[in-house]
Amino acid sequence: MDTGNPKDIEEQNLATRLFWGAFHRGDRKGAGRPLTGAIEEEELTTHGSKSLPWVEGTEHRALGMTDMNWKFRSARSPILKKLGPQNEVHMSPRSGKTQFPSLSATRRTAASSSKASRSSRVPLSPHQRDCRPIEDTEEKLSVFGPSDGSMRIVWHGGLSTARDPQGKHMERVPSASHSASLPDLHSMSAQRAAAAHALLFRPSGSSRPTSQHQRRPGSQSRRSRPGSRAGKSVSALPPIRKAVLEKYRPLGARRPEAQELALFAKKYIHACDAEQIVPQPTLLFTGSSRKLDTTGKTLSDSDLLAMCAAGTLRGVKEVDLSRCTMLSDQGLATFLENALGDDAARGALQRLNLSDCIQAGQATQQSLLNLCSPAKAASLQSLNLNGVTLSVRLLQPLCEALGQNPSLKTLNLAGTGLGSALNAMPCISHIFESKSIKTLDLSWNSFNAEDLAQLGVRVVEKQVVKSLCLSNCAAASHKNNSISPCVFFIEKLIKDQGSLTSLDLSMNRIDFRGALVIEDALENSRSLHTLDVSSNPLGVTGLRCLLRLLCRTSAGLLSMNIENSFNEDSLTKVQKIQTFTYANPGGFYTLDMHRPYHRSLLRTLYKMSEMFGVPPDVCFTIVSYQLGQYQHPAQKDQYGVWPVVTEGQLQFSFSIDHALELKLKNVQDDDHAEVLSRFSDMMRITPDFRKLIPLLAQWRSLHGCSKEQATMLAALSRDFRFTAIQLRQFAAADVAMSGLTLANLLPTLIGDAFDRWLVIQSVAKINELIKTMSRCKELLLFNPDSPTGKYILDLSTSSGAYVAQALAILDRWEFGVTKRKGLQDTSEKGDWSNVRNAKYMSQPLEVFASSFDSWIIPETDWLELDYVSSLRLRSDSTVLDENTFTEMLKVLEEAKCGGFRQIQVTRLLAHSINLNSFQMRRLLGVYKTSEMRTEALVCLFFRVVDIHHEKIFRARFEDQSELQALRKRLGSCNFCPYIQPEQATLEFDLSVPDQRIAANNFLTLATSERRENLKNPRYTFPDGTIDEFAMGLPRSWDTLATMPTSGALRFTYNCAPEDRKLSLRRSLLAQFGKWDLSNVEDHQITWYATSLEASEDVMEFVIWAKAKYDDIEKLFQAFDGQFGNGFISFREFEEGIHRLKCKKFKGKKQKERIMNVFRYMDPSGEGQVSKAEFQFVELFWEEIKYSIIEFLQWAERNIGRDLVEMWDALDLDENGRIQRSEWQISLSNLGYFGPSRPVFGFVDEDDEQTISWEEFQALKHFQDKYLPAVTSQDS
């Protein structure tokens, strides 16, 4: 009603001052109003119309005190006790409202005062000069309306007249000595509060208390004594109608609607006075608004009846009775029929709010039905019935009337019991017949799946509703497979052509499955801008779907509410629940097509096939369909949706290999980093610049919600790609979480190592930087160009999930390369996979999937596996020079971190480290335990350029179980001594495909070279029975298909030099080991024998032989004789030992020890040693020589080249002699873990198991003779 007219504004301010000046005595919190500075005046200052929001919502408080507060103070105040209980605040038994003492005006009298007070004169204050007085007839009350919009009510005690200097009458003012102030009751003493209350609320027949300066408590004033004229009437204030209505004087011409509202206010005040109730302070009664707003006020039926008695609410546009829970059904019905009964009132009414009027029953709803009929409520635009339980009998007629109302735009039916009604669907259909309803709230109504599906159909068909709220509408049902029924509604929106702009699906138990349905249904919705999915168990998996939807350029979504959606649904951990990974969708799927989630998943796979430009029949491999032969849809329907079947079970495999080949067409086979980069570009979402702002805004909206932030970071890390600048923007949005933000989003970075360094350096604090790097250590230590190694990954972290996905991608790429090259399948399970020993949740992977390639990697728990790359170095690759390699060994030996940490760092640099076999042997000597040596060899095994000399470093593993563990880790076909298998003991589990292939390869080799090369064969059946093959291995086992698929086979392979088939060995190494030796000539292969394959006697004989004869051929002639036949028999060998004065075997078992040496030299078992077989001495000597060289090189790095310093470090007891046990302990303490037995045997010339200083000096001659030459050769 504020039209800007000065007269209208003046009238509004006057009406406001009149009403609030009479009745408002406290602020909205119950505190007393501050008073003016005139402490002697009894005044109450209130705000005018300019400050009405300050007083709106005040509930039955007078003088700033509640009834409980007043009773508490009155109980403590001695003055109030003397005043009696008639002054206390009490509750009305009729209305249940707080009531104060009556303001009757039938008995008024002037308060007694002293002579001094009657003669006193008080000049007008500046505030009073600005006021225009409105005096009552008996001059007991003056209401001043100052120009600032506030108001003062001055109660005149001692009456005296003030005159100006010219002698004109100006105003009656209270005497200073007889007036009492009305201060803030919350800040005054109990006595002064009691006096102020008694001053203003004094019942009939009671005297106005005098000032304590005039009378003592209990004394009587002269004018109040019986018989006096003043004692006939003692009242506190005039009645309501006297205080306000009789003071009302129009200041000018008023508009008709303003006069009508003013008349209604007068009638309402009269009704309140008659009912003895306090009027409700609303803007409507002051003329400042056309809105009747009593939100949250404890209205009773008496309040409504008073309004009804005042007449109809003509010209009122809005009626808000929300949260008035004390109103009865009959009271509301009476109000609707009377206050809004005539056509004028209904024609003006635009908004009606009865939310949470819980007592509204059939009478109210019947009145509402009459009110909302199209013919009567032509202007009604908004109706709010939230929390009002609708009658079953009137539900359908009411919905039909609402649907036919042409002006209704907003309808709120939350919590009305609509969903539980038997006729819920017809009622919803009636509502959707409306062509005007834009906002519809059906929250907190329990709908089943069928009702929600029909609701979705109505939304799509009618295309009218713009904003729809379905919060907490999902009914519980076991037949829906524990999925929220809301998915049936969401799926129908896939055909929406742009009607909805806002959708609220909060608190509907929507999990990751429902989130995928939302993504599928709303992906092409350009009109939907706001989505509320708060308080749903989305978790990381579900939030990934919604964030992808937010970033799609085809979707119009701009903002989401994901508050309290971080809890992951437990179903994600159940393996029978079909999951989907957008960044790696390949795998095996089993779908029940009657489920919305499975239909959406199938449509999503069709979309991905379309995105890759690959026909569906190429990506899909249909295994079975329950209802017959399955046919892929030929094209999309008219809505741009892939049609899918709605019943039956469908099983298929989905593969993106063809699309991957097209994307990686020109990539080199060994460029794994480029493979991962292109795959991420193909499968991950790079937000468009138009969608990046909403995404950042969504991130900023979660500031302070740590759990929601962590969930969003985890979701972003799986499916998105960002630049370094964008990641820095994410980190800057919340500085406190910058480290955690970058640790989660680092896998999404587009760029190289420099970009990664740039992002990490944005973390300001060093301690936060360390935490950040620790959180993403799996990513930082992952080397795609040399991925071979053991991985223990936490799939719930972004780094762990990224590495797992990267290994899956590389595995798919590498077995494609293997097939393309025509190599053999040497995988552990026969599925071409490079992943071995995979465990998920501490269980073998075959419990969850048939193969790693078909397994959809989950996002929780731990994954453990060994990855064995098919990358191999060429034999002509350049190895590290001696200086660089020596420096590398020195750094590793002096490093403070443990051996496993050293290996992790070494794997990070493995693609730059090329080694020969002897360097690998020296590197293994750095590590103390066999476990660390195993990890080091696994890490760098495929970085060896001369794999044909692998026997050199294989000798570093002294226990057969260590070699068996290496074969299990690297694969029996990969870690197999194809070129030099002599004296190797092998054991194979025939139930494992790759071990069965390796065993068959040796059977093939033995058949070609010599069947007797398989020494001591033994087959262990699954039940533990052992067969030692007295008749030899069956010939049928030479064919892989006829070999047994269970049990274990063990044997030792030993071949004479003249029986070797080197071409076959090369072929096996190339086909099954994937090593290329095409540029290695036969003469370039150096043959070795290891000390582990021989006894102590053999080593002693070799050391003696090399010390006596430098030329092995001369030694052979010494045993065979000058005219020998070229073979040495055992008799000749034994005689030669005695003739050549070899004392190594002197003792009781001399003959037996000599026999052991002879048998070692005769691998074929023919009873004679040929010249070629006798060459083993030279091979064995090479092993001893390398052991001594390795020891001297270690000593030079750690002790020095001087033998004196070496002796002092090794002689622990300083007795001048070093025993064998003392030798081993000293080397272990000094950190040498290489082969020490050959070195001790070489130095101990007298075989007394002790070393003297003179014997130790033999290393000097060896150092001068061999070490420089070997070092020069290596460098």
Tens digits of per-residue pLDDT, 1005-1058?
Answer: 999 999 989 988 999 999 999 998 888 889 999 999 999 999 999 999 988 888
- The percentage of the chain sitting over the pLDDT mark of 70, rounded to a whole number, equals 77
Query: Of 1052, 1250, 1081, 1094, whose CA–CA distance to 1187 is shortest?
Result: 1094
Candidate ranges 279-293, 570-584, 789-803, 1260-1274; pick with highest mean pLDDT: 789-803
308 has a pLDDT exceeding 90: no
Give the 3-state secondary structure of residue 220.
coil
The phi and psi torsions of 1135 (rounded to 5 degrees) equal -65, -40
Query: Of 1001, 963, 971, whose CA–CA distance to 870 is shortest?
Result: 971
C-alpha to C-alpha distances, 451 to 458, 484, 516, 1048, nearest whole angstrom:
11, 13, 21, 63
665 has a pLDDT exceeding 90: no
State the DSSP string of 993-1019.
HHHHHHHHHHHHHHHHH-GGGEEEEEE
Are 443 and 471 a contacting pair, CB within 8 Å?
yes
Residue 252 pLDDT class (50, 70, 90 cuts): very low
pLDDT at 118: 37
Calculate mean pLDDT across residues 234-248: 43
pLDDT at 202: 39
> Per residue in 219-253, is it b (16+ CB within 10 Å) or e — as a string?
eebebbeeeeebbeebbbbbbbbbbbbebeeeeee
Q: Which pair of tokens denotes residue 328?
A: 């009865």
Calculate mean pLDDT across residues 1158-1174: 82
Calculate mean pLDDT across residues 66-79: 37
Query: Of 1005, 969, 968, whose CA–CA distance to 988 is shortest?
Result: 968
- Would you put residue 4 in left (φ > 0), alpha (ψ -120 to 50) or beta? left
Tens digits of per-residue pLDDT, 335-348?
Answer: 988 888 788 888 88
pLDDT at 586: 86
pLDDT at 743: 92
Tens digits of per-residue pLDDT, 366-403?
Answer: 998 888 877 776 788 999 999 999 988 888 899 999 99
Q: Which helix (H) or strand (E) holds 134?
A: strand 134-135
C-alpha 253/C-alpha 157 separation (Å) is 36
Residue 24 pLDDT class (50, 70, 90 cuts): very low
* Integer Rg of the chain from CA: 49
What's the mean pLDDT when you consider all of the chain? 78
Tens digits of per-residue pLDDT, 789-807?
Answer: 999 999 989 999 999 999 9
How do 843-844 and 835-840 pair as beta strands? antiparallel
Q: Please return the burial class of 277, using the count of CB atoms within 10 Å of its CB with bins 0-12, 13-18 and 19+.
A: buried
pLDDT at 9: 54
253 has a pLDDT exceeding 70: no
Among 381-390, 532-541, 611-620, 1228-1237, the range scoring the smallest mean pLDDT is 1228-1237
C-alpha 564/C-alpha 705 separation (Å) is 9
Query: What single letter denotes the amino acid at residue 1087?
Result: W
C-alpha 1192/C-alpha 1185 separation (Å) is 11
Calculate mean pLDDT across residues 80-105: 38
945 has a pLDDT exceeding 80: yes
pTM (two decimals): 0.71
> Per residue in 1080-1116, is it b (16+ CB within 10 Å) or e — as a string?
beeeebebbbbbbbbeebbbbbbbbbbeebeebeebb
Among 41-50, 85-94, 1165-1174, the range scoring the smallest mean pLDDT is 41-50
C-alpha 824/C-alpha 826 separation (Å) is 6
Tell me which residue has tokens 């000798």: 955
Residue 1062 pLDDT class (50, 70, 90 cuts): very high
Query: Per residue, what are the HEC states of 576-587?
Result: CCCCCCCCCCCE
The phi and psi torsions of 14 (rounded to 5 degrees) equal -65, -45
C-alpha 869/C-alpha 811 separation (Å) is 8
Residue 257 pLDDT class (50, 70, 90 cuts): low
More confident residue, 799 or 1232: 799
Tens digits of per-residue pLDDT, 745-789?
Answer: 999 999 888 888 889 888 888 888 899 999 999 999 999 999 999
Residue 189 pLDDT class (50, 70, 90 cuts): very low
Are 502 and 467 a contacting pair, CB within 8 Å?
yes
More confident residue, 510 or 1166: 510
Among 172-176, 992-996, 1049-1053, 1200-1204, the range scoring the smallest mean pLDDT is 172-176
Query: Of 399, 387, 471, whose CA–CA distance to 428 is shortest?
Result: 399
More confident residue, 568 or 498: 498
Q: Which helix (H) or strand (E) holds 790?
A: strand 789-794
Query: Which are the contacts of 666, defined by CB distance < 8 A and separation ≥ 6?
Result: none
pLDDT at 242: 46
Q: What angle do CA 663, 668, 670 make, to 5 degrees?
A: 115
C-alpha 979/C-alpha 1073 separation (Å) is 11
C-alpha 770/C-alpha 739 separation (Å) is 9
Residue 1036 C-beta-side C-alpha neighbours within 13 Å: 4
C-alpha 1164/C-alpha 1170 separation (Å) is 10
Residue 248 pLDDT class (50, 70, 90 cuts): very low
Q: What angle do CA 435, 441, 447 make, to 5 degrees?
A: 105
The phi and psi torsions of 560 (rounded to 5 degrees) equal -135, 150
Strand partners, 793: 863
Calculate mean pLDDT across residues 519-537: 94
Give Cα 345 to chain centroid, integer Å.
54
Tell me which residue has tokens 């056509």: 343
Are 1080 and 1226 a contacting pair, CB within 8 Å?
no
Tens digits of per-residue pLDDT, 821-876?
Answer: 889 999 999 999 999 999 999 999 988 888 898 888 888 889 999 999 999 998 88
Query: Of 825, 865, 861, 859, whose CA–CA distance to 846 is shortest?
Result: 865
Q: Please return the burial class of 1024, using the count of CB atoms within 10 Å of its CB with bins 0-12, 13-18 and 19+.
A: exposed
223 has a pLDDT exceeding 70: no
Tell me which residue has tokens 């005018």: 48
Residue 505 pLDDT class (50, 70, 90 cuts): very high
Q: Please return the burial class of 426, using the count of CB atoms within 10 Å of its CB with bins 0-12, 13-18 and 19+.
A: middle
Residue 967 pLDDT class (50, 70, 90 cuts): very high
Among 907-921, 978-992, 1090-1104, 1127-1141, the range scoring the smallest mean pLDDT is 1090-1104
Among 128-137, 576-585, 828-837, the range scoring the smallest mean pLDDT is 128-137
Are 560 and 549 a contacting pair, CB within 8 Å?
no
Calculate mean pLDDT across residues 966-980: 93
543 has a pLDDT exceeding 80: yes
Tens digits of per-residue pLDDT, 97-127?
Answer: 434 333 333 333 333 333 333 333 334 444 3
C-alpha 515/C-alpha 76 separation (Å) is 63
pLDDT at 1092: 66
Are 726 and 692 a contacting pair, CB within 8 Å?
yes
Are 982 and 1089 a contacting pair, CB within 8 Å?
yes
Give the 3-state secondary structure of residue 964.
helix
pLDDT at 610: 92
Tens digits of per-residue pLDDT, 700-729?
Answer: 999 888 888 999 999 999 999 999 999 999
Calculate mean pLDDT across residues 1070-1098: 84
Candidate ranges 245-249, 293-297, 823-827, 1208-1212; pick with highest mean pLDDT: 823-827
pLDDT at 479: 63
